[in-house]
Structures are given as structure tokens and as C-alpha cells.
Structure 1
């Protein structure tokens, strides 16, 4: 442990406490692994013109008016976000509390005593006496070693981390809404496909029944056609359960009850947006979760200084000025005035069973943990970008192949239906081919949904248009203060 006398010489005078030293390490952001380029960027279709930045209202790149309306409601109505906003305000007030610790504490005291001296005592005035008093006491503990300043630094960093966490939650909620919205559009497209299929299957049942009545086919063909129709109808009904859950999730995300939100059937757009891709080095400045982890790391570093300052002596200064009189009428006269400087005391802990050492080591371990957490958050950020890029690239290729499969399935169905009408194949061949064609088209729709989900995931992984410059500065982290905040009254706006 550093000798206790060392800072006494460094901090040359107790008379200049505001310029005293600050113990503990100054914060320097540790390095984190940053790749030169994204691994999965090969083959990526970059947005044109390339501006490397998403807009603040990032959902507008999807060019969906209904989505725009829903997204605009998230930040202002979502209750989880409202909770995070309140927690940010709480962090701001902690900054104000630390700022107040730098200032003296003033207290106004008033008192009244009525007493009688015991018999036999030598007193100037015998009998019953009254004693009125009023005094102002001022106490101050100068921040010699920077303990309060380090705590203020930690609270500012924590408030900035809280602000970044708030932005991360807003982005996460907006992305969750967009993902649910696009899933709903896929379900609506699947419902439309099944309704189209039900119409075709119903016609098949009618045709097969007519052919059975004419003695051309067996009763088994009619049963198979009816089974196929009812199976497709059950699939269409099942989509309603999934859609209802998504609609309910969207309602909660915009701060409403499910009964208040009813979205009409939505048309699935066929074109994916072009998303501007930032450089890997810029990812550290554009993801609010990374910013929150970095600010928490800075706060943990400042707490080391708080723990280290506990090793050194504390100085307490006090002063009293007031009046004392046996008569209330003469209380506030100069003759009844008294004052006192002190007591002034210096306290140094000599033995605490190792508590300070444990707290200091705990602070250093907490900082080490925050560094690892920060670096892990950075790695996770790069992983999410790479995952989304890979998904978009691979799903695009898969969609191209699937489109060919849909075209082939349609052609195969036409051929099989013609062969069935000619009597060269059984109705079972028709059912198998129709099921394959329906499954192929459903897969194509699901791929479109997966590509939309991957686009939303990429936007979220890139920070959704957020930038670290949006964090409050040191002067803003404590929020606005009014003169009424300095009053000892519970005034609340």
C-alpha cells in the first residue's frame, strides 16, 4: 500500500482543498478487437449513394406507411421505455447528489430550556431560569483526496450509461415491432395463398364428385380430394392464432392493450431495402449497448479512486454563529451573540480488519469485470452484424433457387392435372403434386419473411442510426437544475 504521508506532501496545503489531488487511476478506454472489414460483406449490395449512415427513423428505409405509423408510437408510449427513462432521471439525480457533497452543510438550530439549579450550587441567578438559543451551524469535509470528485465522475459515467441503455432499449423495441410486423405480413400472404388454394381445392372436389357421379373415378378419389381441402382449411385457420399473437405483441410495444389495436390484412412487399453499411471501426460509436458498456467501465474505474481515497485522513471543519439569552425579547441583540470556530478534526483509521483493502480490491476486480464485459459486448456486436450479413447473402441465393422451384412445381402441377384428366395417372398423383406446389410457394413466402427479419436484425446490429454524440455530456448528465432545487423543501414539478 502507498505510504499515507505521500499525498500529504503532494497536496501541499489543507487550506486549498478545492485544488487537492485526486487519487486513483485516470480513465483511459481499453482497446477492443476491431476487424478491418466485415467477413461476410463479400457480395453485399451497398446502398447508393453510399453515406455509411442509417437515418434516425431507420424504419423508413422499408417504405411502409403502416410501419411508420406504428414505429412513431414506440418511444413515447412503450412502458418498458418509460421505466428506463425514469431510471435515467434517477441516475441524473445521483449526479446532483454527488455535486451537493462538494458544498458545505448549513443547519439552523433553535432551542428553549427552562430549568432550576440544584440547591447549594453557586449560580449567578437563583431560581427558575429560561434559556433561548438560535444558531447557524456550518460543517464541511474538504475533498482532499478526490473521493467526492471520483464519486461524481462515477455517477456522471453511470448516467451516461443509463442514457445509452435507454437508447438501446428503444432500438430493441422498435426492431421487435418491425420484426413482428413483417411476420404478420408473411402470415397474411400465407393466408391469401391458402385461400387461393382452398378455391382450387374446392373446385377439384366438385370436379371429382362429378366424375364419380359419372362413374369415371372411384369414391376414394372424392375422399382424397375432400381430405386435401379440409387439411388446407385447417392450416388457414391455424394462421389466425399466430397472427393474433403478433398483433397483441405489437399492441403492447406501442403501449396499448390488445383490444385497442386491430390491423387489417397487410400486403407483403417484394423488394428489400438497401441498408447502408458502416465501417467496422465505426460500430463502436454507433451501437448504444457498446456505449453503455464503455460508460459502465469508466464508472468502475472512478470507483477505484473512491475506494483508494478511503485510506487517507479526513478533515472536518465546523463553525457556529448564533444568539443565546434568558429572555426571548433580547435574543437577537449583539450582546447575546456568540460564535465558535470548530471543532476541526482529522481522522485516520488505523485498523479496520482489512475492510478497506477488501473494498479497494473489490473495486479493481469490478473494473476488470467491466473491461471484459465491454470487450464481449463489442465482439457480440460484430457477431450480430456478420450473422445478419451472412443471412441476407445466403437467403438471397436460396430465394432465387426457391423461385425456380416454385416455377417448376407449377409446371409439374399443370402436367399432372392434364394427365389425370386423360386418365393416365391416379388422383393420388394430383394430390402429391398439389401439396408439393403449395409447400414450395409457402417456403418462398417464408424466405421473404426471413430476409425481412434479417434486414431488421442488420439495422439493429448497426445501431439503428444512433451515434455516440447523442449521449449527454458531463454538464448534461446531471440534468437541468432550478434554484428551487437548492431549497430544503419537497418541491416537485
Structure 2
């Protein structure tokens, strides 16, 4: 039996050698790629970015007072901006409320109460007048006033994390407001320049129509004198009709744009009174290279960033709440069943 096992092992030895020859080999002598030290990384911004590009009021570069007035009106009267402002105020109030709970607390309270004691209740003995017992029932006017001090040592940073979370929420709301502001400004600017484009196209079509009408008048004169046929005049009339149709389309588009601008700026269409202007000469500071770092300047991404920071701080506060903490409390009060005894030394409690 041992001899058979030895023969089987000897016979399978070439097969093992063949499989080993087919196994993939790795070059372990290859040197690791040297990483560039962080101190050698070029983190400088392009000149345009250092100069504040893109500007938050980018539309000012057009030097168009008409456009500036439209955007300012849209930002001031937009319901979205008002809602965003209310959200910021709410977030700030919540942050101040949480911040006020951090650190030592000192409260003063005072209370005066007049009540009639029930003879059948737990305080029944006080419902009767008994000079020996010191009761003058059933009516009593009792008073209390004093100071209460407390200090949560916040050993694990729970309160600090909650304050940080609220501050992150405030910054996120501010970023959302800026995003709303930029969306309004870009929407108004886009519609404004669409209107200017249609107005320029209208002027061109009106010039074409004027020339076509002159051609139609000349063709009629030539036809009346028998110089040309009526076919040429019909073709000119058809071209003039097409131009008139294009003018009607342009006028319709301009009316639609005016209605949309009125909705954004919260004004009546008749009150817009837009006038045609020439294309502006913008001195652009656009950098030669636009890297991914520009994404950090987007208001919506800033809002997402601060929401994440706020959530992480809330998680830290929730974790810290599971650890034991130390709260220091102290109070000093004056408490008396009769107001005449309220300021006596015997009425103190602490």
C-alpha cells in the first residue's frame, strides 16, 4: 500500500511542476513611486481668482443701469428671498438659544400667591386660625424670591458640539440664501438679454420689411407700365408676408419675456418700459484654466458642506450625551407663608 502511494506521488510530480510554471509571477523588485511632498504642491490660485473672480455681483460688469435695477428689484421683492431670510433668522435664534445654555447660568425668580386652604385637604390644619399653632387660615398670601445658579461642566463637549451644529445650520441657510440670490440674478439677466436679442432682431426685420415694401412698390410701377410680369410681384409680396409673420413672432416672444420678467421682479408688464441697448464691452477676468477648485465657490455646494458639518457635530453631541457628566447647582431663596415674614432670616432656604 505504501508502495502504491509512493508511485502515485511520483507520477503526479510533473503535473505540479507544470501548474507552477503557469502561475503568474509578480516583479517584486519594482520600486515604489515616489509621492510628491505636500510642501512642494503648487496651491497658488490664478491671478483672476485672487482678484475676486467670480464676483458675487457679476452683472455689474455689464454697466447697464436698466439690468441692475431689474435684478435689485427681483432680489428685494422675491418671496423666495424673504423665505430664505426668515430661515436664517430662525437658525440664528436657535443657535443663540443653544449657546445661552453653555457656561454658568444664573436665574432670578419671584412669586406672590394668595390662596384659600381647604379644611378637608392635606393642608387642612392651615385652614383654621390657631395662634398656638401659628396658623391664620383659611387665607394666606405667601411669597418666594431668590437666585438659582447652575453650571454644566460639559466634560465631553456635548454643549459645544450642539453650538457648532447650530452655527453650521446658520451658515448653510446663508449659503442657500446666496444660491437663491444668484438664481434670481441669472434668471433676470438671461431673460433681459433674450429680450435685447429679440429687440435687435426686430430692428433687422423692420429694415428688411421696409426694403421689401420698396421693392413691392417698384414692381407695381413696372407692372403697370408693362415692363415686368405679375409673377415677380407676387413673389415679392410673399416674401414681405413672411417677414411680417416673423415680426409678429418676435413681438410675441418679447411679450412673453416681459411677462416672465414681471413675474420675477414683481412688477407690472406695462411698468417695465424696457429700452434697447447695445451689447456691453465686458472686461472679463476669466482665468486661463478653470480647475475643480471653483466648485467650492458654488453656493449650493457650500450649503451641502455646512449641512454635513452640522450633522457631524450633532452626532458628536449625541455620543457625548451617553457619557456621565457633572452639573453644579445652587440656590438661595426666601420663602414665607406670610409676606410679613418674607424678609426674615428664618425664611431663608438654600
Asked if structure 2 preserves the Cα contact closer than 8 Å seen for 1:137 and 1:318, the reply is no
CA distance 1:114–1:195, change in 2 (3 Å): same
Aligned counterpart, 1:149: 160
Is it true that 1:305 corresponds to 2:316 in the alignment?
yes
Aligned counterpart, 2:114: 112
**Once structures 1 and 2 are overlaid, which stretch shifts more, 149-158 or 123-132?**
123-132
Unaligned runs of 5+ in 1: 1-35, 37-45, 341-493
State which structure, 1 or 2, has the greater radius of gyration over its C-alpha atoms.
2
The separation in 1 between residues aligned to 2:294 and 2:197, in whole angstroms, is 31
The separation in 2 between residues aligned to 1:71 and 1:47, in whole angstroms, is 28
Q: CA deviation at 1:188?
A: 0.6
The alignment partner of 2:117 has SS state of strand
1:341-352 to structure 2, matched below 5 A, reads none
Is it true that 1:276 corresponds to 2:286 in the alignment?
yes
Q: CA deviation at 1:140?
A: 4.5
Aligned counterpart, 1:235: 246
Asked if structure 2 preserves the Cα contact closer than 8 Å seen for 1:52 and 1:279, the reply is no
Matching residue within 322, 326, 329 for 2:340? 329
Aligned counterpart, 1:16: none
Q: CA deviation at 1:255?
A: 4.5
Asked if structure 1 preserves the Cα contact closer than 8 Å seen for 2:143 and 2:338, the reply is no
Is it true that 1:266 corresponds to 2:286 in the alignment?
no
Offset from partner CA, 1:100-123 (integer Å, 9 cap, x none): 222537344433333255599798
Matching residue within 148, 166, 181 for 1:138? 148
The alignment partner of 1:302 has SS state of helix
Q: CA deviation at 1:223?
A: 3.3
Asked if structure 2 preserves the Cα contact closer than 8 Å seen for 1:161 and 1:293, the reply is yes
Is it true that 1:128 corresponds to 2:128 in the alignment?
no
Offset from partner CA, 1:275-304 (integer Å, 9 cap, x none): 422752641453322222211111111111
Asked if structure 1 preserves the Cα contact closer than 8 Å seen for 2:112 and 2:143, the reply is yes
1:256-405 to structure 2, matched below 5 A, reads 256-268=267-279, 273-277=283-287, 280=291, 282-313=293-324, 318-335=329-346, 337-340=347-350
The separation in 2 between residues aligned to 1:70 and 1:294, in whole angstroms, is 31
Aligned counterpart, 2:97: 97
Asked if structure 2 preserves the Cα contact closer than 8 Å seen for 1:131 and 1:324, the reply is no
Offset from partner CA, 1:31-59 (integer Å, 9 cap, x none): xxxxx9xxxxxxxxx999x9573445422
Asked if structure 2 preserves the Cα contact closer than 8 Å seen for 1:141 and 1:314, the reply is no
The list of structure 1 runs, each at least 4 consecutive aligned residues, that deviate by more than 6 angstroms after superposition, is 119-123
Unaligned runs of 5+ in 2: 1-41
Asked if structure 2 preserves the Cα contact closer than 8 Å seen for 1:109 and 1:135, the reply is yes
The alignment partner of 1:266 has SS state of coil
Aligned counterpart, 1:85: 85
Aligned counterpart, 2:187: 176
The separation in 2 between residues aligned to 1:208 and 1:64, in whole angstroms, is 45
In the alignment of these two chains, the number of paired residues is 294
Offset from partner CA, 1:393-419 (integer Å, 9 cap, x none): xxxxxxxxxxxxxxxxxxxxxxxxxxx
The separation in 1 between residues aligned to 2:337 and 2:53, in whole angstroms, is 77
Asked if structure 2 preserves the Cα contact closer than 8 Å seen for 1:137 and 1:320, the reply is yes
Aligned counterpart, 1:345: none
CA distance 1:52–1:111, change in 2 (3 Å): closer
Offset from partner CA, 1:403-461 (integer Å, 9 cap, x none): xxxxxxxxxxxxxxxxxxxxxxxxxxxxxxxxxxxxxxxxxxxxxxxxxxxxxxxxxxx
Q: CA deviation at 1:215?
A: 4.0
Aligned counterpart, 2:221: 210
